[in-house]
Amino acid sequence: MSVDTTGQSRRGFLQGAAGLAAVPLLVADSRKAAGASRAATTLTERRRLGRLRVSGIGLGTQTMPGNLYGPVSSRKDMVALVRTAVDQGVTFFDTAEAYGPFEGERILGDGLRGVRDDVVIATKFGFEIDPVTGRRGEGLNSRPAHVRRAVDGMLKRLRTDRIDLLYQHRVDPAVPIEDVADLMKELIRAGKVLHWGLSEPGPQTVRRAHAVQPLAAIQNEYSMAYREPERQILPLCRELGIGFVCWAPLAYGFTTGTINPYTRFAEGDFRASVPRHAQENMAANMPLVQLILDWSVRKGVTPAQLSLAWLRTRQPWVVPIPTSTRLSHLLENLGAEEVTFGREELKELTAALDAITIQGARLPPPVLAATGVEAPPRRA
């Protein structure tokens, strides 16, 4: 892309007075325009993921253990943040045994004490993680004996007797999906799991899995900066009646306007390893941020609210699960529920997004290689 949607050339955008140096100011302007009322939203809308009913915005917990996007204020704050989300009407919480490992589930279990029956808990299995010690081994493991043990550990950490939505985190190229689906059937019969889903699967694997035990949701990356699911997976979800959960709905913070080519990620911050965040790629992708900032001011909302609200217009069964480790961000993000678009407005915004090509891969090569994988056939 050489021309951004405001009509400036990319070079002009980067060099001009309204370029990068102005971004923080514009973010501040759009936040001010959003006013206080949207920050106080209590979620009321509910959405369906298969037969599951969840709040229209969920809460991710991946960064709460403090070892992925840099340290967090404190564990106590993370537990309190989960409880505040409940108080604000969030009923959909996303975690995984791999977050920490284990600590994301423990934080959620602590935060949901006493309100467990009012919420939907989603977690994920599938990596080679020792079910007792949490030591992370190499690669994936969806072998049924391993998953059975993993689920028992999850129930303890989450302080619950059932998992509302259990995902396979990544398709295991060594385990037929029918074996995994049969195991889910067994766990559902036992009452330990209520619904299941897949994360970043190949499309044929979705069909095969769904034929054995119906899926409630697919969880894939989807945001204004990454729209690949629109090609194959979203149409497939519509055809099969499966819900769709968007991970990284804020593109790791990029669509909030708070990271840019001059951002220096903290030591160990996963985001530094994402090719899309290489300085030249972030610079090339700034027209997207500019578009979001312009529309935020026009709508009187914040960039994060605009990003989440647009995702929510894509389908009534699409649910974003932004992570936030800051109370102010959590409250701001929930304000997206109140943001509405007129038909023409939405057409105009989506057309402007269509005209932007994002540069740089969404994940580091070895992590990317584990997405879109088709499971092997079951042996006769």
Ligand X SMILES: NC(=O)c1ccc[n+]([C@@H]2O[C@H](COP(=O)([O-])OP(=O)(O)OC[C@H]3O[C@@H](n4cnc5c(N)ncnc54)[C@H](OP(=O)(O)O)[C@@H]3O)[C@@H](O)[C@H]2O)c1
Show which residues are catalytic.
Answer: 99
Q: Which residues pair with 122 in a beta bridge?
A: 94, 165
What gap in Å lies between CA 329 and CA 302, rounded to an integer? Answer: 10
Dihedral class, residue 134 (left if φ above 0, else alpha if ψ from -120 to 50, else beta): left
Residue 54: phi, psi to the nearest 5? -135, 160
Would you say how long the chain is, in residues? Answer: 380
Show the tokens assigned to 280: 């030249």
In whole angstroms, the minimum distance from the beta carbon of 9 to ligand X comes to: 28
Segment contacting ligand X (CB under 6 A): 154-162, 231-239, 253-261, 274-282? 253-261
Closest among 335, 231, 344, 357 to 291, alpha carbons compared:
357
Among 123, 142, 290, 323, binds ligand X (CB under 6 A): 323
Query: Cβ distance 198 to 125 under 8 Å?
Result: no
Residue found under tokens 């306007």: 257
Query: Cβ distance 154 to 164 under 8 Å?
Result: no
Among 84, 258, 313, 315, binds ligand X (CB under 6 A): 258
Q: Which residues pair with 117 in a beta bridge?
A: none
55 binds ligand X (CB under 6 A): no
What gap in Å lies between CA 203 and CA 374, rounded to an integer? Answer: 7
In whole angstroms, the minimum distance from the beta carbon of 65 to ligand X comes to: 10
DSSP per-residue string spanning 249-310: TTGGGGGGT---TT--PPTT-GGGG-GGGSHHHHHHHHHHHHHHHHHHHHHTS-HHHHHHHH
Segment contacting ligand X (CB under 6 A): 145-153, 187-195, 250-258, 341-349? 250-258
In whole angstroms, the minimum distance from the beta carbon of 15 to ligand X comes to: 26
Interior angle at CA 13, CA 281 and CA 69, nearest 5: 40
10 or 157: whose CB is closer to ligand X?
157
Segment contacting ligand X (CB under 6 A): 108-116, 153-161, 201-209, 244-252? 244-252
67 binds ligand X (CB under 6 A): no
Mask for 89-128, x = binds ligand X (CB under 6 A): -----x----------------------------------
In whole angstroms, the minimum distance from the beta carbon of 380 to ligand X comes to: 32
Segment contacting ligand X (CB under 6 A): 56-64, 146-154, 272-280, 372-380? 56-64
38 or 210: whose CB is closer to ligand X?
38
325 binds ligand X (CB under 6 A): yes
107 or 352: whose CB is closer to ligand X?
107
Segment contacting ligand X (CB under 6 A): 58-66, 111-119, 138-146, 350-358? 58-66
Show the tokens assigned to 142: 């969806």
Q: Which residue is nearest to ligand X (CB)?
A: 60
62 binds ligand X (CB under 6 A): yes
322 binds ligand X (CB under 6 A): yes
168 binds ligand X (CB under 6 A): no
DSSP per-residue string spanning 183-210: HHHHHHHTTSEEEEEEESB-HHHHHHHH
In whole angstroms, the minimum distance from the beta carbon of 69 to ligand X comes to: 5
In whole angstroms, the minimum distance from the beta carbon of 116 to ligand X comes to: 18
219 binds ligand X (CB under 6 A): yes
Show the tokens assigned to 164: 């509302």
332 binds ligand X (CB under 6 A): yes
| Contact set with ligand X (CB under 6 A) | 60-63, 69, 94, 199-200, 219, 247-253, 256, 258, 304, 321-326, 329, 332-333
